Structure 1
Amino acid sequence: MPWDTNDYPSSLKNLDTAIRKKAIDMANTMVEDGYKEGQAIPIATEQAKKWYANASEQEINQVIYMSDQDLKQSDDNRSTGNPELMEKGEHVIPHENGWAVKAQHAKQPSDVFSTKEKAVQRAEEIAENKQTSVIIHKQDGTIQRKIDK
């Protein structure tokens, strides 16, 4: 059952409203994509905090005004429920805003960082949780190296 603002993990109760809603949204997507609830909650919480630190006021307001129906529904930007994504490696790839962390076959990156080093650190965290690998790309898109977790 998807979480909403009336029914969510107690670990989210002390978060700012925007962070909590973003974490609920992310955790719902992750569970739909095959993550176990125990994995999705801490990952979504950390990603929501990072999102908040970098989000514009407009982006924060959009999340604050999300309805419970929005939080429970998938949208076209989310991948379909695909447990196989749990087995896919995390790629660090060039992005227009720096370096992105993106699961193999995912439609969009989970994070974007200004430096490659930060992107690699985040990819390693995610890969450690999923027990997969990190594939680091060069600026031209070719593979630089692979790290198994």
Structure 2
Amino acid sequence: MPWTNNDYPSSMKNLDKKVRSKAIEVANELVEEGYEEDGAIPIAIDRAKEWSNDNKSSNSTSSNDTNNNSNSSSSKKEDQHLLPDGDNWIIKKENSEQASYTFDTKKEALNKAKNIASNQLVNLVIHREDGTIEDIITP
């Protein structure tokens, strides 16, 4: 059951409105990806708080940016890749053998991949038809 800004888990009730909205978005995405609701909720709350902190610190000095980068590298989150696969386009987590999603068009795949990468707070690596890297979108 997808959560909304009017119907969400009680553990999200004390979150700031923007953080709660992001947590709801992330939780729904995690459930769609196969997580159990009970497992998705705390992950979503943590990611939403992290997202909020990253947005607050994005206007900070470069020394804070260095600290943020070192913290994120220690958690080793795996980037998402948008790749060609024959006549299709796939979304695949870095170091994964299997695609998470398959789409007929790059446009459809890109919309989904942006959403996933944003929710997971990871980079999205977009590849061209020949497999070379076209762009990297950072959270």
TM-score normalised by structure 2 residue count? 0.49
Structure number with larger C-alpha Rg = 2
Q: Give the alignment's TM-score, normalised by structure 1.
A: 0.46
